[in-house]
């Protein structure tokens, strides 16, 4: 496996920090028209601004965005991906003590993501999406490009998704994470952290020696578990170098 060691050696770009409120998410779908992806939501903050503002509680906003069961069944996994990425409350995952907890909360609150992640081909669909990802296009087309990229990479890094990929796909995924990180480094809006998670969590599945190492490193173990360092003085770039020693480099 050929690995370029540029992954994260420039240091860590901070995660997005927003001071209040929820993110009125907007998504430009790649595979189906934007209006089709959005049409599965009765009200969105971008297309129905006044109606969205009239929703009295956060629970109201969650309930209005649920997808009806017939649509969930009839949508292909690729179509469901686009619908999920158009979910108006997608950006709420950054408002938690850790990104992992925030991600799990968003999934728990949205039946579209639950159905998508339960599909047998979700691993392959997300692998192919990542294989063809273009950070420049995301930067130019997404209203919140950093959140879009973070959520997509974070979703790919989940154990249940990685386990639905083949060993060959996971091996290639590590190379893809390196490539995507190099592309992201050209822009100051993207976080490096999720590329790191994809590589580290993939190794946790397929590399027993790496698993043993992580079990004895409390900081790295906590990060791979929660996407949060328990000690803000930890040098993340140094931690990444530890990962590279478990990757075959030509």
* Burial (0-12, 13-18, 19+ Cβ within 10 Å), 183: middle
In a domain, 70, yes or no: yes
Q: How many domains does the chain have?
A: 1
In a domain, 167, yes or no: yes
Orientation angle between helical segments 111-118 and 99-108, nearest 10 degrees: 100
In a domain, 28, yes or no: no
pLDDT in tens, 111-155: 999 999 999 999 999 999 999 999 999 999 888 889 999 999 999
Question: Residue 44 is part of which domain span?
Answer: 34-244
DSSP 179-202: HHHHHHTTSTT--SHHHHHHHHHH
Cβ pair 149, 197 in contact under 8 A: no
Q: CA-to-CA distance for 176 and 202, rounded, in angstroms? A: 12
In a domain, 23, yes or no: no
In a domain, 196, yes or no: yes
In a domain, 29, yes or no: no
Give this prediction's pTM. 0.80
**Confidence tier at 230 by pLDDT (50, 70, 90):** low
Cβ pair 139, 189 in contact under 8 A: yes
Cβ pair 196, 11 in contact under 8 A: no
Q: What percent of the chain has pLDDT over 70?
A: 72
What is the average per-residue pLDDT within 163-175? 94
In a domain, 15, yes or no: no
In a domain, 10, yes or no: no
pLDDT in tens, 66-92: 998 988 899 999 999 999 998 988 989
């Amino acid at each position: 496996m050929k690995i370029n060691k540029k992954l994260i050696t420039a240091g860590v770009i901070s995660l997005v920090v927003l001071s209040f409120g929820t993110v009125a998410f907007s998504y430009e779908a790649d595979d189906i028209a934007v209006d089709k992806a959005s049409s599965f939501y009765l009200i969105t903050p971008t297309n129905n601004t006044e109606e969205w503002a009239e929703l009295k509680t956060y629970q109201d906003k969650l309930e209005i965005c649920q997808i009806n069961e017939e649509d969930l069944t009839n949508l292909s996994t690729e179509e469901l991906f686009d619908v999920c990425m158009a979910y108006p409350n997608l950006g709420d995952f950054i408002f938690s003590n850790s990104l992992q907890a925030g991600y799990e909360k968003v999934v728990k609150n949205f039946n579209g993501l639950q159905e998508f992640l339960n599909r047998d081909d979700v691993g392959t669909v997300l692998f192919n999406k990542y294989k063809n990802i273009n950070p420049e296009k995301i930067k130019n087309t997404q209203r919140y490009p950093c959140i879009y990229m973070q959520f997509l990479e974070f979703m790919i890094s989940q154990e249940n998704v990685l386990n639905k990929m083949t060993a060959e796909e996971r091996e290639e995924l590590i190379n893809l994470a390196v490539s995507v990180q190099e592309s992201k480094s050209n822009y100051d809006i993207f976080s490096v952290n999720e590329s790191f998670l994809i590589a580290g969590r993939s190794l946790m599945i397929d590399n027993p020696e790496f698993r043993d190492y992580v079990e004895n490193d409390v900081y790295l173990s906590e990060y791979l578990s929660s996407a949060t360092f328990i000690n803000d003085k930890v040098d993340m770039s140094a931690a990444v170098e530890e990962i590279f020693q478990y990757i075959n480099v030509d």
